[in-house]
Chain A
Amino acid sequence: MYRYIKQLTSLLAVFAVLFSFANEAMAAKKSKTLKNTIKKGFVRCGVSQGLPGFSNADASGNWTGVDVDVCRAVAAAVLGDASKVKFTPLSAKERFTALISGEIDILSRNTTWTLSRDADIGLTFVGVNFYDGQGFMVRRDSGITSTSQFKSGLSACVNIGTTTELNMRDFFTSKGISYEPVVFEKADEVVAAYDSGRCDTYTTDKSGLAAQRTKMKDPDAHIVLPETISKEPLGPVVRQGDSVWEDIVRWSLNVMIEAEEYGIDSSNASAMKSSENPQIKRLVGAEGELGAALGIGNDWSYNIITQVGNYGESYKRNIADTGILPDRGPNELWTKGGILYVAPAR
């Protein structure tokens, strides 16, 4: 009993000190999450239970995907080794609790950035690594080619605890269509229910539809309808209250995107160290003290680019080459007609 009281008082003392005297520079050294991560030697990352292209484990347990690459980038930045990540597969329902309770330090699990999530429940979204929108999948032989052909009486399979569940209601209600929502906890169960004919349509983010379609028995028997019914900016999330950790995750992602913008990739990064362009030199750590501002080593961005690659490489490897979404659409750089536009790392 005495021990608990002692622990409690010392804990309180630590927080009292933190809150009364903390300034930016001290916080940089005292980020609890950063300190713990360095101590443990790995980044604790929450991912999906298997969504090809975003976070998916192969037979031997290796995780790949664009969401996975965000965590790998943070590991490369903080620990200098992109492989030092412990992945925790989470259902949509579990994900925020796992992050808030401290089971994981980054949630990189195709999670939509919304106001209520950002402001209300102790989370902070650090950026967008995939611009998505919700769509519908139907069986090709149903003859439906557009959501305008939807009629009252349809049943729709959906994942629990997603923005999808809410958008679906907005969509059907605004069109005056009554429908039956069938809500499952696991994405696999949703797909199985749709596949068996329990539901007439399956709705989730379009990237998710494209990815799940590749997993189906006969992918060609299903089509994704052209309409997009919502904005779904997907991105990594961290706990509220550790602004240093938040910055590290945000800029790890930004560096991947900016590296692509400046044409730096995993193969030419070391050659770029002798570039004429100061911004390129800053991005590969040959100039400036960007790492120090974040409280990590100055080779952080170089490690990200060489070990994980730039955003374009990550997209090509995980989403384009696997046939999920060969066309980058809005996820192209702003200089090439997309909307990927990040604040400059300088």
Chain B
Amino acid sequence: MNNRIIQTVFPLVFVLLAMSACHKDLNLRPKYGFNSAAVYDTADNYIHVVAKLYAGFVLSGNEGPAGNPDIADIDEGFSPYLRVYWNLQELPTDAAKCRWNDVGIPELNTMRWSSSNSFVKAMYSRLFFQITLANEFIRECSEENMERRGFAEVDREKIRGFRAEAQWIRAFVWSHAIDLFGGNVPFVTEADGIGANLPPQTNGKELFAYVEQELLSIEDELPAAGTAEYPRVDQGALWFLLAKMYLNAEAWTGEDRYSDCATYVDKIINSNAYSLDPNYKRLFTLNNVNSTEAIFSVACDGAFTQSFGGTTFLVHAFVGGNMNTNDFGITGGWEGYRATKAYTDLFVADSAVSDRFTWHHEGHIQSIDTFDQFDNGWAQAKYKNVFYENNGDTLTPDNYSLNSQVDLDFHWMRLAEVYLMYAECAARGAGSTGQGLNYINMLRTRANEPVVASYDLDFVLDERGRELSWEGSRRTDLVRFDKFTSSSYVWEWKGDDPNGVGVSDHLNIYPLNADDVIANPNLQQNTGY
């Protein structure tokens, strides 16, 4: 009897089991996060993607300070946009040399990079991370998509504003692609979906025209200069970006656009939305939040916006040796960067009085004889994680001791540079040198330096070196003045020579990421690489 039950039941169970195979069990999805299609169905979600686009300049990924990186093949701490950009803009120049042997850095110091340099690759990847995300966002924000999703007008209006911000961010990033890579990069817009065909290669001229057109098309969609919520972009940031592109147009595309630069510089100045901060040193302390001088800033926060690539990098990496860490509101520096003698010589004349003389030189020799010794070359004591009160009393923020993350914001675009752009345009014949001199002296006066009676074009470069020291602009400036590669200006270790030598012109732009040239057969590597 028992046997009979077994004889029938067991085969039955067996057959049932085999038939219970449910192929739907293979449709498994992540529990956390959003489906890519669903994320844009809710109007409230859009600001979180805009936040990602802005955060894309300082954060390394979705976990602060590290743990879930946006881009691969570089140490996550190195990978944030600002840090990589800063290194590409300052390390090969006279301004900064780094003693670390982290992958890619020694080659940047001495201008020996190849197309597989890690920082070059990371920069390239960062540009396209921002561009691809902006493209997707702009695509999802189209009028048709908003219509299809049935959003209320009030939401649509908000989303249009987000879309314009995304377009500005994308244009800003493309402008770096022109500056750093000559614009000879793959070209993709919101019309290209994810996983689309291999993007075609564009060039500096075409890309310049596209970015210019983009910016002009969103001018009316952005808030008036100085009215956006901090630290979002408005027309001031748009004009600044246009001005800076026009300033470099000759170097980037061969076409002289200095008068256009002057036009947009005037727009910014005449908007009266910005004024110089009375204290230069305070601009690089925690008091700089929402400074009247700031046109575009990236916000860092020790508690909420943590990474090793924003100002946490700018404050820690420059401090070391016998520098007193308490002055910087940190407990220990990373002992990395110092300047060359050629560069710090720019500051020597007014060192006794100038607020812009931020160099730490006690116990240091001025030149970099031995690369790996921190006391070779002067160290930069400009960025500080302290509140600058009563001319020198400092206060470190509370959370620092817990996570060693810095609260300082970074002003990527500030009024001082607008003044210098004007002075340069004037010296190049597009504006009044009298007014230019006036602007230069405003900056000198603010820094307690004596005024000058006249200036020439080379003086503007030196003045930019002093005012915008270690703010990520030096390489662009030297290229524009044809001093980056030529032998007309050399500094120690330029061209891997202890005394400095001229190098080949092809180094004026970086090579395209070698891996992308392999992945995308449409791409032709930049000449000389």
A and B form one complex: no
Q: Which residues of B contact A (CB under 8 A)?
A: none
Q: Which residues of A contact B (CB under 8 A)?
A: none
